[in-house]
Amino acid sequence: MSDTLLLLVGLGNPGPKHAKHRHNVGFLAVDAIAEAHGFGPPRAKFQGDLRDGAIGGRKAFILKPQTFMNLSGQAVGEAARFYKIDPANIVVFHDELDLAAGKIRVKSGGGNAGHNGVESIADHIGPDFRRVRIGIGHPGDKLRVTGHVLGDFAKTDREWLEPLLAAIAAAAPALAESDAKFTSDVAQRLQPKPDKKPRSEAAPESPIPKPAAIDKGPSANPFVQALQKIFPRKH
């Protein structure tokens, strides 16, 4: 058993057909972490896309199972056994229907709350792994749940999704310390910034205008590309 290796798992369904689904927010979360912390490129391994790097001074792997959600545990089980990673050092990022959109909760162990991907992982490695539950909100009617979970993010979701993913990525090193530290760091980064105090001195009569932003075209950052596909720019 390794006390130093971390395995960060994002849950989702593979392929462009599912890329915009709320059910795939786990994929987006680990992509954000990988890009923010310079993980290597993805390579096919353990029935998934695997990237390696470091988080909080600890060697870490990021895994996106490509088996479809209901069989996620196959990929996670293979990786955990190969690297001898204890469930306490496995962090799974997944969507949570019963949390308000943009909220997160972190816990270790427990039930699967009806999430098939989480259930599959528990079947393969036991229930004692860590879960970062990312709220996608409830549609309010159980008859609309499937369409909501397997539906695309709305344009209005960008207002909470982008800041949340950025906060998760920035706070990820705290996962090497404790879940509580990670939760606290994410919350702190999402707090609205106080308004700046007005400057006491008078503004110059002829301020120098700032140069116009230059559209550099599509980003080379895979995480940014994924967001641009969900929320395409208007030209």
pLDDT tens sequence across 94-136: 999 999 999 999 999 888 878 999 999 999 999 999 999 999 9
What pLDDT score does 1 carry? 38
What confidence tens digit (pLDDT) does each residue in 23-62 have? Answer: 999 999 999 999 999 999 999 999 999 999 999 999 999 9
Kindly state the greatest CA–CA separation across the chain: 69
Closest by Cα among 41, 59, 58 to 50:
41
Pairwise pLDDT comparison (150 vs 2), residue with the higher score: 150
Q: What is the pTM of this model?
A: 0.83
List the catalytic residue out of 18, 21, 23, 37.
23
Tell me: pLDDT of 210 over 60. Answer: no
Contacts of 62 (CB under 8 A, 6+ apart): 8, 9, 10, 30, 33, 34, 39, 50, 51, 52, 53
21 noted as active-site residue: no
Pairwise pLDDT comparison (3 vs 48), residue with the higher score: 48
Tell me: pLDDT of 15 over 50. Answer: yes
Averaged pLDDT for residues 57-76: 96
What pLDDT score does 40 carry? 97
Mean per-residue pLDDT over the chain, rounded: 87
What pLDDT score does 110 carry? 86
Pairwise pLDDT comparison (75 vs 229), residue with the higher score: 75
Q: What percentage of the chain carries pLDDT values higher than 90?
A: 74
What confidence tens digit (pLDDT) does each residue in 151-202 have? Answer: 999 999 999 999 999 999 999 999 999 999 999 999 999 988 776 665 555 5
Please give the domain boundaries of the chain with CATH numbers for all domains: 6-191+220-229 (3.40.50.1470)
Contacts of 52 (CB under 8 A, 6+ apart): 39, 40, 59, 60, 61, 62
Averaged pLDDT for residues 200-221: 49
What pLDDT score does 230 carry? 62
Pairing of strands 90-96, 6-10: parallel
What pLDDT score does 213 carry? 44
Q: Where are the alpha helices (DSSP H) in the chain?
A: 25-36, 72-83, 116-125, 145-149, 158-171, 179-190, 222-230
